[in-house]
């Protein structure tokens, strides 16, 4: 049985084998980041709301944990958008805690922590991983394209409060896009902000999947070298993740579509997944059929082929 709320386990560069949880509908977000692997946000959502009943999502997670045939390192709330927009995020996390005593992570754009309710929701997680990719208003608006109600200062203050609220649990992620936020001036202003927030870990990442804007490309190798000189504490996440995305052979095609909704698959990853049950020829046929049926679309990025789910695709149970 496929749950629309849960996907994976998938390999995560930060969280090992990670079971992903979607607490809200596809592309529900208050940002429209130029590098977003889910495409542009059709309409920015600024208010929090209960999109799905907490108990339904929690039940989906419980079933996924029960049927997983491998160890799960983290249950990771991330969503097909910004998970803190789900007003019942804390309730969902509490529900998962009733049967899961492993680690839980929250991947977030970090925009709403000025709101105390959102900081309270964050308390349920072992790790909260917000984005810190700008050190000034202009770059913030250029890279994230937020609504007018959000400003760089408001978001930055929220992140400072978050660090005080849950010390020891904040792993910031800095997404760098060539020609947008990788100049020396940009990096120095980001460094100032990072120093003031004081995250417990800092990761550097770059677009590795087809972005919302075709021009949102990774910085040059030279530029990345400068980044690691300026941020010697940073951990390098600029290489694509390794490892199988899926091991469960049941309903494999449907699960691949579910993963591709959130996480576009490189061609080699899709082949690897399908070759296990179907063999190489079968994998090729299966992939071609899924593209032909409109379950997946194929996209080129940086000389590689990726497969992603069409924006309005509903998951079909087989
Ligand atoms: S990258 Fe995250 S925060 Fe940015 S638009 Fe996509 S879902 Fe929203």
Predicted confidence (pLDDT) per residue in 79-94, tens digit: 789 999 999 999 999 9
Judge whether 178 lies within some domain: yes
Residue 306 CA to chain centroid, in angstroms? Answer: 17
Assess whether 143 and 276 both reside in one domain: no
Q: What is the rounded average pLDDT of the residues 66-78? A: 90
Q: Domain containing 10 — which CATH number?
A: 3.20.20.70
pLDDT at position 2 over 70: no
Assess whether 222 and 312 both reside in one domain: no
Measure the CA–CA gap between 266 and 239, rounded to whole angstroms: 13
pLDDT at position 130 over 70: yes
Identify which of 58-72, 112-126, 288-302 has the greatest average pLDDT. Answer: 112-126
Assess whether 313 and 255 both reside in one domain: yes
Judge whether 143 lies within some domain: yes
Q: Domain containing 257 — which CATH number?
A: 1.10.10.10
148 to 26, 45, 46, 239: CA distances (angstroms): 22, 12, 10, 34
CB atoms inside a 10 Å sphere around CB 226 = 15
Assess whether 238 and 300 both reside in one domain: no
Assess whether 171 and 311 both reside in one domain: no
What is the per-residue pLDDT for 87?
98
Assess whether 16 and 50 both reside in one domain: yes
Q: Among positive and negative, which fits the CA dihedral 175, 179, 183, 186?
A: negative
Assess whether 177 and 270 both reside in one domain: no
Q: Structural domain of residue 74, as residue ranges?
A: 6-243
Q: What is the rounded average pLDDT of the residues 143-154? A: 97
Is 286 near ligand 1, meaning CB less than 6 Å away? no
Task: Write down the pTM of the prediction.
Answer: 0.81
> What's the pLDDT band for 300 if we cut at 50, 70, 90?
confident
**Domain final position from 222, 243, 264:** 243
> What's the pLDDT band for 316 if we cut at 50, 70, 90?
very low
Substitution site in 37, 41, 78, 176 for ligand 1 pocket (most atoms within 8 Å of beta carbon): 41
- Count structural domains, the chain: 2
Q: Which two tokens stand for residue 307?
A: 């497969």
Is 51 near ligand 1, meaning CB less than 6 Å away? no
Measure the CA–CA gap between 223 and 219, rounded to whole angstroms: 6
CB 276 within 8 A of CB 256: no
Nearest protein CA to atom 4 of ligand 1, as residue:
33
Is 146 near ligand 1, meaning CB less than 6 Å away? no
Q: Which residue has the tokens 């590689």?
A: 304
pLDDT at position 13 over 60: yes
The chain-wide mean pLDDT, for the chain, equals 89
Q: What is the rounded average pLDDT of the residues 27-43? A: 95
Judge whether 1 lies within some domain: no
**Domain final position from 195, 213, 243:** 243
Assess whether 157 and 57 both reside in one domain: yes
Assess whether 135 and 168 both reside in one domain: yes
Question: Residue 301: CA atoms inside 13 Å, Cβ hemisphere, count?
Answer: 24
Assess whether 310 and 176 both reside in one domain: no
Counting from 1 in the atom list of ligand 1, the atom nearest the Cα of 35 is 1
Identify which of 102-106, 273-277, 286-290 has the greatest average pLDDT. Answer: 102-106
**Domain final position from 194, 223, 243:** 243
Judge whether 103 lies within some domain: yes
Beta-carbon contacts of 143 under 8 Å, excluding residues fewer than 6 positions away, are 33, 34, 35, 133, 134, 175, 177, 180, 181
Assess whether 20 and 116 both reside in one domain: yes
26 C-alpha to ligand 1 centroid (Å): 11
End-to-end Cα distance, the chain:
9
Q: Which two tokens stand for residue 96?
A: 């998962």
Assess whether 312 and 297 both reside in one domain: yes
């Amino acid at each position: 049985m496929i749950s629309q709320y849960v996907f994976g386990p998938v390999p995560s560069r930060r969280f090992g084998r990670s079971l992903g949880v979607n607490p809200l509908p596809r592309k529900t977000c208050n940002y429209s980041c130029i590098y977003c692997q889910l495409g542009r946000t059709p309409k920015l959502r600024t208010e929090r709301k209960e999109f799905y009943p907490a108990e339904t999502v929690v039940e989906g997670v419980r079933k996924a944990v029960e049927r997983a045939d491998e160890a799960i390192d983290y249950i990771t709330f991330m969503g097909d958008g910004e998970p803190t927009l789900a007003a019942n995020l804390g309730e969902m996390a509490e529900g998962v805690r009733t049967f899961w005593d492993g680690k839980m992570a929250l991947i977030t754009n970090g925009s709403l922590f000025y709101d105390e309710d959102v900081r309270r929701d964050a308390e349920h997680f072992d790790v909260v991983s917000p984005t810190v990719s700008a050190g000034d208003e202009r770059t913030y608006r250029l890279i994230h394209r937020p609504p007018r109600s959000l400003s760089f200062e408001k978001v930055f203050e929220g992140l400072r409060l978050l660090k005080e609220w849950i010390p020891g649990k904040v792993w910031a992620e800095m997404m760098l896009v060539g020609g947008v936020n990788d100049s020396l001036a940009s990096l120095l202003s980001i460094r100032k902000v990072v120093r003031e927030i004081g995250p417990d870990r800092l990761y550097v990442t770059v677009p590795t999947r087809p972005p919302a804007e075709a021009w949102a490309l990774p910085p040059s190798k030279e530029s990345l070298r400068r980044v690691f000189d300026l941020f010697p504490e940073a951990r390098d996440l600029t290489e694509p993740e390794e490892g199988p995305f899926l091991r469960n052979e049941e309903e494999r095609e449907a699960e691949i579509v579910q993963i591709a909704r959130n996480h576009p698959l490189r061609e080699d990853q899709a082949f690897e997944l399908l070759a296990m049950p179907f063999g190489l020829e079968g994998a090729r046929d299966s992939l071609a059929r899924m593209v032909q049926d409109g379950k997946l679309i194929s996209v080129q990025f940086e000389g590689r082929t990726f497969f992603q789910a069409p924006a309005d695709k509903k998951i079909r149970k087989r």
